[in-house]
């Protein structure tokens, strides 16, 4: 069996960088959450001790309203900051997803133009440097073929007609 080696010197492996890390709330959100929990407790306690407060001449309504205000403000601030952070994280994930889609399209277009082949499933093409080759199916002018794609020194290396020793 003969072996055909094709080296794609013109199609570089894209550098996408690392994906965004999973979302986790910032220290500010956590601190605001703790303050909100404390203010909830500060709201409940005067409600439970309304009779004692009234006996001491302290208006339970005023204490309850002040603690309710503190609770609403801290919970609102925590929610606002958390929503902004989650929105920024979702935008970063979307940007990374768009970069993957764009890179995938550019790599497949480059390989198809360079070799005059068609790659039916573009998701078979790796977008990162790999040490082991991956199987791909291609369609060429003289019929379909199974090949191996690997990344060598930052460019794509496609081998057809042999085993997967790259």
CA–CA dist 107, 151 (Å, integer): 12
Query: What is the pTM for the complete model shown?
Result: 0.70
**3-class DSSP state of 76:** helix
Q: Any idea where the domains of the chain sit in the sequence?
A: 4-8+26-160
Q: What is the pLDDT of residues 110-151, one digit of tens each?
A: 888 887 788 888 888 888 887 788 888 888 777 767 787 878
CA–CA dist 110, 124 (Å, integer): 15
Helices marked H in 116-134 — which ranges?
none
């Amino acid at each position: 069996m003969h072996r055909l080696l094709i080296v794609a010197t013109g199609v570089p492996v894209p550098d996408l960088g690392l994906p965004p890390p999973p979302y986790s709330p910032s220290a500010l959100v956590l601190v605001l959450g703790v303050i909100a929990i404390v203010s909830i407790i500060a709201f409940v306690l005067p409600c439970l001790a309304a009779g004692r407060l009234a006996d001491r001449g302290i208006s339970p309504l005023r204490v309850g309203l002040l603690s309710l205000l503190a609770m609403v403000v801290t919970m609102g601030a925590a929610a606002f900051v958390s929503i902004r952070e989650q929105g920024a994280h979702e935008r970063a994930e979307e940007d990374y997803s768009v970069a993957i889609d764009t890179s995938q399209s550019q790599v497949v277009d480059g390989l198809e133009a360079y070799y005059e082949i068609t790659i039916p499933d573009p998701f078979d093409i790796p977008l990162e440097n790999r040490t082991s080759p991956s199987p791909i199916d291609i369609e060429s002018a003289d019929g379909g073929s199974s090949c191996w794609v690997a990344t060598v020194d930052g460019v794509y290396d496609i081998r057809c007609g042999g085993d997967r020793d790259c």
